[in-house]
Amino acid sequence: MLIRLAILFSGNGSNLENILEKLHKKTFGQNTFEIVLCISNNKDAYGIQRALKYDIETIIIEHQKFKTREEFDTNLVKLIKENQVDLTILAGFMRILSPVFTQNIKAINLHPSLLPLFKGANAIKESYESDMKVAGVSVHWVNEELDGGKIISQKSFDKDRLNFEEFEEKIHTLEHEILPLTIVQIFEDD
C-alpha cells in the first residue's frame, strides 16, 4: 500500500531530511512511503533546501499573514486533505495547533524529551538541567494539548557526564533513529 506523508517544519530540517533519506519512496513490508507534501511556516527555513535535494518543493504558509491561529490551521488542513495525506509529521514545526487542525488531521510529533516531562520549546535545556539521570525523545499523537497526545514511542539514554553540546547531539541522534521507525511501525500495526 502507498502511504502518503506530509512533513511540517519551521527550521533546520534535519529530521525532515532524515525522513526523506530513510523513508521516501522506500518499501517496508507491504507499505511504500512517499513524502507528498512539505510545508513550512518560515520562508527562511533551511529545511526548504534539504527538501529540494529530493526534488520536493516546500509550500510556505507564513502564520503571520493570518489573523487567527484557526485561519492558519484551516489553510494547513485544506492543503493536507487536498494531497490525500495518510499521516502528517511535525518535525520541528514550532506552532501550537488549534482543534481546527487536531480534530481533522492524523498527525504525530517528535519531541526532544521523555514526555510527559519538559513540554514546550525549551525541552532540551530543561531536560539537561534537571536532576534526572536519564533523558530522551518521544513521538506522540498530536492533540489539543501542547506535547500532550498519547505517546507512541520513546527512547532514552543515561545523561552521565555529558556537556550540553554532547547532550544535544545525543538527543538529535535518537530523534533520527526513532522517528522513521515509529512511522513504519504505525502502519505495520494498522
Give which of 45, 167, 181 is closest to 113, Cα–Cα: 167
Which of the residues 24, 111, 140, 176 is marked catalytic? 111
Annotated binding site: 13-15, 69, 94-97, 109
CA distance 112 to 187: 23
Amino acid in the structure at residue 140: H
Can 111 be counted among the known catalytic residues? yes
Annotated binding site for (6R)-10-formyltetrahydrofolate: 69, 94-97, 109
Amino acid in the structure at residue 107: A
CA distance 108 to 86: 11
6: Cβ–Cβ under 8 A, 6 or more apart, which residues? 35, 36, 37, 38, 39, 80, 83, 85, 87, 88, 89
DSSP letter assigned to residue 55: T
DSSP characters over 125-136: HHHHHSS-SEEE
Q: What nine digits make up the cell of 34?
A: 512517499
Residues annotated as catalytic (active site), given as ranges: 111
